[in-house]
Structure 1
Amino acid sequence: MDVKYINPFIQAFFSVMPQLGFEDIQKEGISLKDDNLVSTGVIMTVGIVGEVKGNVVYCLSLEDAKAIASTMMMGMPVEEFDEMAQSAVSELANMLTANAATFFSEMGITVDISTPTLIYGSNVSIKMSANQVLCVKVSANGIPFETNIAING
């Protein structure tokens, strides 16, 4: 996978999160994973089609997902990961990926995205659409956020 495909996702995080009330945005690191992703917590997957194809999977712990939902809902306490909280973090995945699609467009690459699919639980296994997956770890107000990108150019 060409590393240039990760920049739109990093840019999207730095562009979208401040609009939602997150002030301290940090890039924590990048690592390489294989195509069998296993995660515990909240997982949001979005498909990418067009000139490049693949998927992006966002991973958060359940508590961090509730904290993000709370910030997105203007500080309203989120005690349970209910429909409202699920809707908020799904919309975040949609906003991040749509914003990344805009950055791809600025690079001259046309892509469309699918509706996010939200899954949560323990040891959830996801088969990524490319053999190599680039994992970008970022944080928003100290909340760790993992973006797993699998794109075939």
Structure 2
Amino acid sequence: MDVAIINSFIASVTDVMPQLGFSSINIKNQLEKSKKIVASGIVLTLGIVGDKKGNVAYAIDTEGAKQIASIMMMGMPVEELDDMAKSAISELSNMLTANASINLSNESINVDISPPTMLTGENIELSMSKDQVMCVEFDIDGIMLEINVALD
């Protein structure tokens, strides 16, 4: 996978998350995965079309998603992932992917994104659109966020 693609998503996280109030953003791991992604908690997937085609999937455990939703909703306590909290997490995936697409356009790669689809539960199995998937695992103020990118 083109380094510019994965770097666009990494830059998106490091640019957007501080704007929302997060202070410590660290890459924990970068690895290549197979087409099949398995995660528990919340998985958000967005399609990408244009010069590059594929999809991106964000995975966050349920407690982490509640913390992110709380911060995005100005500190309002989030005891459960109700519709408002789910909306906040979905909007985060929109913001991160849109920012990555702007970063890609700065590399002369023009893409459009679909609205996110949210999956919740344990051992969620998702088949990515490409055989080669680049995964970046972030620790954001103690919250683990995994980004899986499958584009070519």
TM-score range for the pair, normalised by the shorter chain length: over 0.9
1:105 corresponding residue in structure 2: 105
- 2:84 maps to amino acid: M
Q: Greater share of strand residues, 1 or 2?
A: 1
Query: What SS is found at the alignment partner of 1:14?
Result: helix
2:61 corresponding residue in structure 1: 61
In 2, Cα distance between equivalents of 1:12 and 1:48: 15
| 1:12-27 aligned within 5 A | 12-27=12-27
In 2, Cα distance between equivalents of 1:72 and 1:143: 14
Structure 1 residue 29, shift from structure 2 partner: 1.5
In 1, Cα distance between equivalents of 2:24 and 2:37: 28
For the Cα contact (< 8 Å) 2:35–2:133, is it kept in 1? yes
In 2, Cα distance between equivalents of 1:73 and 1:102: 25
The answer to whether 1:91 aligns with 2:91 is yes
- 2:46 maps to amino acid: V
1:146 corresponding residue in structure 2: 146
Query: What SS is found at the alignment partner of 1:130?
Result: coil
In 2, Cα distance between equivalents of 1:141 and 1:44: 20
| Number of aligned residues | 152
The answer to whether 1:77 aligns with 2:77 is yes
Q: TM-score, normalised by structure 2?
A: 0.98
- 1:47 maps to amino acid: G
Percent identity between matched residues is 52
In 2, Cα distance between equivalents of 1:105 and 1:47: 16
Query: What SS is found at the alignment partner of 2:119?
Result: strand
Runs of 4+ in 1 over 6 A off after TM superposition: none
Structure 1 residue 66, shift from structure 2 partner: 0.4
1:6-64: CA deviations, max 9, x gaps?
00000000110011110111111101110011111100001110000010000000111
Structure 1 residue 136, shift from structure 2 partner: 0.3
- 2:69 maps to amino acid: A
For the Cα contact (< 8 Å) 2:41–2:62, is it kept in 1? yes
Over the aligned positions, Cα root-mean-square deviation in angstroms equals: 0.8
Can you give the 5+ residue segments of structure 2 that lack an aligned partner in the other structure? none
Q: TM-score, normalised by structure 1?
A: 0.97
Query: What SS is found at the alignment partner of 1:75?
Result: coil
